[in-house]
Amino acid sequence: MLKTLVQTFVQLLGEDVRALRRYLWLAVTYGLLCGLSMAALVPLCRLLLAGEPQQAWPWLAALLAGVLVCWAWRSQVEQAGVRVGVAVLRNGRHCVGTHVARLPVGWFTPQNTARMGHVVTQGMMAVAQLPAHVFTPVISGVVTPLVLALVLLALQPQVGLLALVALPLLGGVLWCTARLAAYADRVFQQHFAQTSQRMVEFAQAQSVLRAFQGEGGGTRFLEQAVERQHQSALRLMLLSALSVVLNTWAVQTIFVALLAVAVWGLAGAGVGAVAASEAVALTVVLLLVVRFIDPLLEVASYSEILRSAGGQLEAVREILDAQPLPQTATPQPPQNAAITLRDVHFRYAPQATDVLRGVNLHLAPGSMTALIGASGSGKSTLARLVARFFDVSQGQICIGGVDVRQMSEAQLAGQISQIFQDSYLFAGSIADNIRMGKPTASAQELLQAAQLAGVSEMLERLPQGLDTPVGEGGAQLSGGERQRIAIARALIKDAPILLVDEATAALDAGNQAIIAQTLARLRGQRTMLVIAHQLSTVAMADQIVVLEAGQVVEQGAPAALLASGGRYAHFLAQRQMAKGWRMTSVASEASH
């Protein structure tokens, strides 16, 4: 595990891994220098206690010089540590950013997005601060005692041996207590991400929450999430404190054991008066034992910070472990705009159940297919698979006779334009957003697309016209307005395939008409796969496909299906009833 954490850290550093190497070299040398200058205490004390101060002078000078060098060296170590931290911040975000940019579109679920936000902000900061604030005392806290243990070995073998054995034992204790708190930390991070997600949801869905749950009730989900986070934070704090206490106890146990062995060594010499030379030897050993223990206590106190930073690194690792969709080395161009699905199975997670189960479909070039089925039957999933938001779990999807996995990203993107329910607009003007469909579009083309998609109508209300900023995510526009811009974007892009996920609720009658017009206009020119909710759309289609629990249960031309009296006929009867209701409600609204 330690290895993967180190690898993650190195990966975050990217090309600046040299800065880490330099820092490590400086930090280890610093620990050695500290140990060696403390070792100068041995001859110094011996000579002073033996009453030979003149001969002690050179050692005193050596000790002073050692302290000065350590002092200067430490500042070098700190600077190198800060440089590593800066490199982590600079490259780490870039590394995570470029990685997620290659991940399949389907990866961007609300949970993953919240987790990524947490990692890029808090996580990266915690990791970047490690070298300057934590690694230095920890590295010198291991190297210095090691040097002192060797000196002790030379002075009094039993004590030295015990000190040497104690170091890996202490490492074991630190590891165990770290695992104790690591679990609590994982749970806390999970709850933290959930709470962030709930917070965003709470802010965005205020109107819905208030409408359905009253003013106070709207906070219930958020409160539950906050309560869970509170509980897990409490547990984490308790376990962290406990592990620091256990670590400190472990160090102090070592200290007592070393003292006992040192004194026992002396007592073994006899019961009578202690010889002066032995008293000197004991004093020197005890002095070294104290200097040996001090840095270890510091390491013990840093163990929790190290562990929690390890948790952050693990979260980064999880994101970096998500695999981009494999890209072929020999991309093949599609022959035409036909779409073929062969025995397509798909599940969102390896342990989940299949959302699509053996779907076979053929959409001839330039034909229009209406996909209908109950909520959750897998319609949107099917459309997403054609656009390769994910790869199928089994089977094959071909465009123009070529498996979508055998096409380059650019080739596939060039084939497809899409109007999905959650069309995202980028901060920029309306024109910028439409132009994303075709960056080289002329002003003429832009106007034409805007006109066709009904964007022109809304421009009359906006003083800045096409240059009106849409706000982040299109926040300054209504849902219907966003949808119109998304339609214009899809229209301006001359892709031979159009995927449409008709929204049920977000569209007003005006927008529904625009979608219907758009589809009617493009009929015969593009291969269209439309997840249809409107009767007019369904009736327009060359082929209707009824999906039920991930399987195609009915398929054929509208008239044929109607005649067969199956599910489509049933759907039609239902919709006509609903439409009748809608017409009267519109009519009564109009009369007001």
Ligand X SMILES: Nc1ncnc2c1ncn2[C@@H]1O[C@H](COP(=O)(O)OP(=O)(O)OP(=O)(O)O)[C@@H](O)[C@H]1O
**Residue 381 binding result from ligand X, Mg ion, none, given CB thresholds of 5 to 8 Å by partner type:** ligand X
CA atoms within 13 A on the CB side of 435: 13
CA distance 369 to 391: 22
Beta-strand (E) ranges in 347-415?
356-363, 368-373, 394-399, 402-403
At 343, give phi and psi (nearest 5°).
45, 55
Q: Round to the nearest angstrom and report the end-to-end CA distance of the chain.
A: 70
- Residue 66 interacts, among Mg ion, ligand X, none and using kind-specific CB cut-offs from 5 to 8 Å, with none
* Helix, strand, coil percent content, the chain, rounded in steps of 5: 70, 10, 20
Q: Which does 156 bind (CB under 5 to 8 A by kind): Mg ion, ligand X, none?
A: none
Taking CB under 5 A as the rule, does residue 418 contact Mg ion? no
378 binds, among Mg ion, ligand X, none (CB under 5 to 8 A by kind): ligand X
- Binding string, residues 97-116; x marks residues near ligand X by CB under 6 A: ------------x-------
Question: Minimum Å distance from CB 321 to ligand X?
Answer: 18
Structure-derived torsion over alpha carbons of residues 548, 551, 556, 561, reported in degrees to the nearest 10:
-30
Residue 380, interface with Mg ion (CB under 5 A)?
Answer: yes
Select the residue interacting with ligand X from 131, 145, 218, 378 (CB under 6 A).
378
Site for Mg ion in 70-89 (CB under 5 A): none
Stretch near Mg ion under the rule CB under 5 A, chosen from 152-160, 261-269, 377-385, 458-466: 377-385
**Residues 4-33 contacting ligand X, CB under 6 A:** none
| Spatial contact of 166 and 257, defined as CB atoms under 8 Å apart | yes
Tell me which stretch binds ligand X (CB under 6 A): 238-246, 282-290, 377-385, 518-526: 377-385
Q: Which helix (H) or strand (E) holds 416?
A: strand 416-419
Among the listed residues 196, 377, 534, 543, the single contact to ligand X using CB under 6 A: 377
The site for ligand X, by CB under 6 A, has a size of 11
> Rounded to the nearest whole angstrom, what is the least distance from the CB of residue 472 to Mg ion in the complex?
25
For residue 390, state whether it binds ligand X (rule: CB under 6 A). Answer: no
Q: Is 386 helix (H, G, I), strand (E, B) or coil?
A: helix
Kindly write down the DSSP assignment for every residue of 331-353, as one continuous string.
Answer: ----SSS-EEEEEEEE-SSTTSP
**Min CB(572)–ligand X separation in Å:** 17
The verdict on 351 binding ligand X (CB under 6 A) reads no
Show Cβ contacts of residue 259 under 8 Å, excluding neighbours closer than 6 positions: 286, 289
Q: How far is the CB of 384 from ligand X (least distance, A)?
A: 8
Give the full edge-to-edge strand order of the sheet including 551-556: 416-419, 497-501, 527-531, 368-373, 543-548, 551-556
Token match 């802010």: residue? 203
Interacting stretch for Mg ion, rule CB under 5 A, among 69-77, 154-162, 379-387, 552-560?
379-387
> C-beta of 17: minimal distance to ligand X in Å?
36
Site residues for ligand X per CB under 6 A: 109, 348, 355, 373, 375-381
Site residues for Mg ion per CB under 5 A: 380
